[in-house]
Structure 1
């Protein structure tokens, strides 16, 4: 019993060579420029179904969370890291193996005689040799390292931190997927609506071209009017071909993110101008990013793992104490294997002290220290990138509303100009060129209005991702359930 108590004490009494870890302060201002003083908590608490109210988009996100291959790989990476942690943790415990065997052996008479110190007499009755069987049963303790200096513990801690880091990576991939599907859906809606606008405009301009040709035949118009109208129609036809390509490419990108063919029973799409999506998101403080952004938490986990690697590299300079033990039974008869004095045992402690290794241990320690410095820089960079993304989102939140209002006024003015130019052209006060220019201006203003609205919604989705939104556990479960 005392031996087992001593063994348990040796197993649990390991010291740690890990350097003291000081997580660097966030290298960003404490608040975001443009954020309001009394804003509610960050949008990370808003579920993605609340953020994206469009029913069609909700269904697509749910399908993507279930079928997207990148997210599936991220989930499998978590399982791989968990298994790696189990391997590293298992090295801290004794490994016991049990085995049993049976051996049948024959020894020639000449060898047996030599073993007795002389030759057996020849002739009739001389033994032809010895033949026997042997049964063996053993339980072995194979090279158990007593982790006095914490090398195995540091390796286990590093594997555990990397496992937690991959879990954060999976959450980060999930959030990025939600935002990416939303952005791809917005691109698909923009391409579709711009194509519809081009088709409608082309129909109107074909009618105008037909009128110009009839006026020329009636000698009330010129060839210049016809040429201008034809040029306008051909440009619209070119836009139509490009629009069809954009719709196809946007649909392909959306299907890739979803990870499966888009179902035929999807809810009807909403117009961009009327799409249900939150665009004024609260951002909170910059310190909220440290707890809401999985990629920042992942970088911190990698920092902690690298710090543990330094501890393992330090411990490698100290002696390693290992134990190997064997306890078993050997008998010529199976029914007597566990009886009498047939047991055998061995106990082999060993100690290994590195003396000369060509500088490999110092090189390993230096490498671990450099990787820790790299992890510090990557952690700080992750914070700075997150701060920049949120700041960009705030800038969009504060300016897109005003820009849309101005663009809407510009579109109203363009429409009014087309109406007035049409009346003046019919009255003979303006030429055909003035009317065509007014029509092109209105067409460009309507295209710009749709594109600006898409940018506003895309900026809101990007801010939602930058704030770490969409990662609540209940929302995850609801998304998976809805996709089935």
Structure 2
């Protein structure tokens, strides 16, 4: 019988804990009845896109999409920006912080073990409660203690906290990808703007030459008595105005170089070393098949919004677990003795063990308010996801529409340029022959200049729209390759009964 007593005592101890948990669970009056949400993330099929985003058999952007423009300096600048841009470093820091939260949350699933040692030297009073032979003497006390505690996590509160931290880590990862894509697109857009300014500067340099040619013709006509000093001064003024336009473009070019340097994470002098752009047209614009559904895993902002919703779900579950009893087991063992001689003897042993049970019975509505707040966060995150999806579909459709519109405009603009160039050349010939007035030549030249400028702006803006479309389609990001896809049959599925079943 003596041999069975420890087992009987252990069994009785476990039974007592179970009975206490059951009793407290039944006695608890704090509950979350009536607090719920019926919000859910919307599938892309809900939104009509067949006319705006037709299947064209195109490809999704690759990670090295900048190479398609045929200028090796552009991908090199993008790589430099991704290495040195402070915004990238901020995103990496947010990932590290999120990872630390995962580690902290994971630690709560395991026992917490600590050790301590204390040594004290004390003179005990001779007129107190300390018995002889210690009263009135100096004594040294040694205390060695190892303690362990373990939260049983019966209702999954700690597990939900870990899942929430993991989801937040994925949010940070997806947001970092969004930052990467934005930086790359910003570099490409600024570089394309630099190319546009250089193209406009070349036009203005040619225009200076045209104005100088008109001025020389005017000088000859003045000498022949066909024109007056009014036409001569007008020609000089038009030439000076063209030179002023070149100077203005020089200033704009330098400013864009500074902007590029800032995107690279460098000082303004770095921008001055960038060579003149030599960009090509890039690949043809064709939308991939099944774009609306696949866009969910190609846009990092949608992926981040999804994992934010997932995080909110675990937040809700954690808040619900707060309504149930917490059971924590603790154990401590060690040695305590006066002096060193008896510290390692059996009589110096000390042992403590026992459970701690906590159940909210009355909290004046604190837990219910907390849960309502978590549901409000969930509703907000769902609405954010849905809005992000809507914005993404609109973004792609807008970029495609603008590109197609620009293509049509370019046809007409090129025809206009050809006609205005012919008109200017005819007017110049007639002016030399004394058949036209100077004003007709200048007007024809202004019309030709405006037409040439329009063609260049349309061409450069179209390439800028291509860059915008690449960004709108995810810039080469793929959630499945980045380890950020949801573990279900679709990359980012809609949850039909997310909160009502929790």
Alignment TM class, shorter chain as reference: 0.7 to 0.9
Q: Does 1:33 align with 2:51?
A: yes
C-alpha distance 321-419 of structure 1, shift in aligned 2 (>3 A): same
Q: Displacement of 1:24 after TM fit?
A: 2.8
Match of 1:201 in 2: 207
Contact 1:321 1:352 (C-alpha < 8 Å) held by counterparts: yes
1:59 is matched with which residue: 76, 79, 82? 76
Match of 1:99 in 2: 116
Q: How does 1:362-381 map to 2 (within 5 A)?
A: 362-381=368-387
Match of 1:457 in 2: 463
Q: Does 1:252 align with 2:258?
A: yes
1:269 is matched with which residue: 274, 277, 281? 277
C-alpha distance 360-92 of structure 1, shift in aligned 2 (>3 A): same
- 1:56-100 deviations in Å (ceiling 9; x for gaps): 111111111111111111111111111112112222322111111
- 1:304-361 deviations in Å (ceiling 9; x for gaps): 1111111112222222222333111113344643332321011232222223333222
C-alpha distance 382-219 of structure 1, shift in aligned 2 (>3 A): same
Match of 2:142 in 1: 135
Runs of at least 4 residues off by over 6 Å: 17-21
Match of 2:127 in 1: 110
Match of 2:322 in 1: 316
List alignment gaps of at least 5 residues for structure 2: 1-5, 19-31, 483-502
Measured in 2, the distance between the counterparts of 1:292 and 1:252 equals 32
SS in structure 1 opposite 2:47? coil
Match of 2:288 in 1: 283
Further displaced range: 226-235 or 50-59: 226-235
Match of 2:309 in 1: 303
Contact 2:309 2:382 (C-alpha < 8 Å) held by counterparts: yes
Match of 2:96 in 1: 79
SS in structure 1 opposite 2:222? helix
Contact 1:44 1:467 (C-alpha < 8 Å) held by counterparts: yes
Q: How does 1:162-173 map to 2 (within 5 A)?
A: 162-173=168-179
Match of 1:181 in 2: 187
Measured in 2, the distance between the counterparts of 1:263 and 1:211 equals 41
C-alpha distance 433-267 of structure 1, shift in aligned 2 (>3 A): closer
Q: What is the TM-score when the length of structure 1 is the normalising length?
A: 0.84
Measured in 2, the distance between the counterparts of 1:175 and 1:128 equals 76
Match of 1:414 in 2: 420
C-alpha distance 45-217 of structure 1, shift in aligned 2 (>3 A): closer
Match of 1:400 in 2: 406
Contact 1:32 1:286 (C-alpha < 8 Å) held by counterparts: no
Match of 1:24 in 2: 42
2:430 is matched with which residue: 424, 432, 438? 424
- 1:132-178 deviations in Å (ceiling 9; x for gaps): 21222111125x43312222222221111011111011111111221
Q: Displacement of 1:266 after TM fit?
A: 5.7
Match of 2:397 in 1: 391
Q: Kindly report the root-mean-square deviation, in angstroms, between the aligned alpha carbons of the 2 structures.
A: 3.0
List alignment gaps of at least 5 residues for structure 1: 11-16, 121-126, 477-484
Measured in 2, the distance between the counterparts of 1:335 and 1:445 equals 103
Q: Displacement of 1:131 after TM fit?
A: 1.3
Measured in 1, the distance between the counterparts of 2:140 and 2:319 equals 50
Q: Displacement of 1:244 after TM fit?
A: 2.1
Count of residue correspondences:
449
SS in structure 2 opposite 1:105? strand
Match of 2:344 in 1: 338
C-alpha distance 90-52 of structure 1, shift in aligned 2 (>3 A): farther
C-alpha distance 283-242 of structure 1, shift in aligned 2 (>3 A): farther
C-alpha distance 32-174 of structure 1, shift in aligned 2 (>3 A): farther
C-alpha distance 335-208 of structure 1, shift in aligned 2 (>3 A): farther
Match of 1:14 in 2: none
Q: Displacement of 1:278 after TM fit?
A: 1.9
Q: Displacement of 1:371 after TM fit?
A: 1.0
C-alpha distance 382-51 of structure 1, shift in aligned 2 (>3 A): farther
1:48 is matched with which residue: 46, 54, 65? 65
C-alpha distance 159-20 of structure 1, shift in aligned 2 (>3 A): farther
C-alpha distance 366-428 of structure 1, shift in aligned 2 (>3 A): same
